[in-house]
Structure 1
Amino acid sequence: MTAFLAAAAGAAAQGTWERLLGDLDGGDLATALISVLGVMGAAAVAAIVAVKAYKTQQRETRRQQRATFYAEAVRAVEDYLEAPYRIRRRDGSAAARRELTQHVSDVKSRISFYTAWMAIHSTDAVAGTYEAFVRAAQYEAGQQMTAAWRSRPTKKDRAVPIGSPLPRTGADAARAKLLTVMEADLDC
């Protein structure tokens, strides 16, 4: 029974094609075939263009996400470098001490997160240069925080301006190198 149905379906399809193509001469058939192939070719080209555009968009989205992540990682170290200024401007209260120590602890935690993330997900060049930036910041800002804690708390508004920036030549040099390495990584 199944063989009979298959034969009948095949004969019906054969008959349909004979009816469709029976009225066409060779030139008409070639024209119809070229038209069909042209439509299929245009659809294939459109699909290829769409896939390439999608891939390009996804690559740019990933690049932008990585650039944002890198900027946040640099920001965490910059927050650490700003800690000596915050400590020097404290009012001397127990609440200010708690707030400042919590702030520095939170910043150090963020730096640890970014350091670990880069060790896992970024290139060796970016991870190593970021760690060098962190070390330079810890060296300079660490000494400056110790000195700031030992200084008298700020009691008057006129004592808020420090006058000149704290030195950070090592951190600035490490940051400049890091930004160059990160930019090269983003251009890949």
Structure 2
Amino acid sequence: MEWANIFSACFWLSEAGATIVAAVLAAGIAVGGYMWQQRQSRADKRAVMYSEALRAVEDYAEAPFLVRRRQGKDARATVSTQISEIQSRLALSAALLTISANTHIAEAYDNLVAMAKSTAGPAMTEAWNSRRLRHDSEVPCPAPYDRSAILEARKEYLAAIRQRDRVASRLVNG
């Protein structure tokens, strides 16, 4: 009988107390869900940043072929402008990663950019000095340059993302 008196006297077991407990639990679940959603949103933004940075490198690595495919009188100016824009995106991506990403990820990206420039840069110079492609039969280029150093640095960049930002790389990791 004493337990019955204790339970009836306990505010938290009354109807009003149960309402407050339910409201606190609902608020906790809502705040937890909001925090989880914000975390995922930030991770998605980082994943896009990593991908756009990689895209800029791939565009730079493709630039020698862009040079070889140039057409028309204004081709030099047009292609030079495109390459300049790609280099601007490389610099922007490097800055964003330096500011926003883990140091290891930013360093891996800097290494990737350095590999791309040291490999694709000379290939671009060679492409500018070569005659441009004039016929469809000449595509793809007869002597593509060796991209193995870029591909290896790309693997290291992606590995750094997987190791240092597990949330943003969740789609890759499963």
Question: What is the TM-score with the length of structure 2 in the denominator?
Answer: 0.86
Q: Which of 31, 35, 38 is the aligned partner of 2:18? A: 38
- Could you say which residue in structure 2 is the equivalent of 1:65? 45
TM-score of the aligned structures, taking structure 1 as reference length: 0.79
Moved over 4 A (4+): 26-29
Local SS of the residue matching 2:134: coil
Determine the C-alpha separation between the residues in 1 that align with 2:30 and 2:7: 33
Post-superposition offset of 1:186: 2.8
Partner of 1:115: 94
- Distance in 2 between residues matched to 1:144 and 1:164, nearest whole Å: 10
In structure 2, the CA distance between the partners of 1:106 and 1:27, relative to structure 1 (3 Å rule), is closer
Q: Indicate the residue corresponding to 2:31 in structure 1.
A: 51
User: Using the alignment, how far apart are the partners of 1:55 and 1:168 within structure 2?
Assistant: 42
Q: Aligned partners of 1:28, 1:134: CA distance in 2, in Å? A: 70
Secondary structure of the corresponding residue to residue 64 of structure 2: helix
Query: Per-residue deviation at 1:185?
Result: 3.0
1:150 partner letter: N
Matched pairs, number: 162
The one-letter amino acid paired with 1:124 is T
Aligned to 1:80, which of 60, 65, 87? 60
Q: Deviations over 1:6-60 (max 9, x none)?
A: xxxxxxxxxxxxxxxxxxxx79963876221111111111110110000000000
* Contact 1:77–1:137 under 8 Å retained in 2: yes
Shift in alpha-carbon separation, 1:27–1:149, aligned structure 2, 3 A:
closer
Q: Distance in 1 between matches of 2:95 and 2:45?
A: 17
Larger Rg: 1
Identity rate of aligned residues, in percent?
Answer: 35
Cα distance per residue 1:145-165 (max 9 Å; x no partner): 011111111222211222464
Counterpart position of 1:98:
77
CA RMSD of aligned residues (A): 2.0
Which of 134, 158, 164 is the matching residue for 1:179? 158
1-side partners of 2:143 and 2:80: how far apart?
24
Residue aligned with 2:23, SS: helix
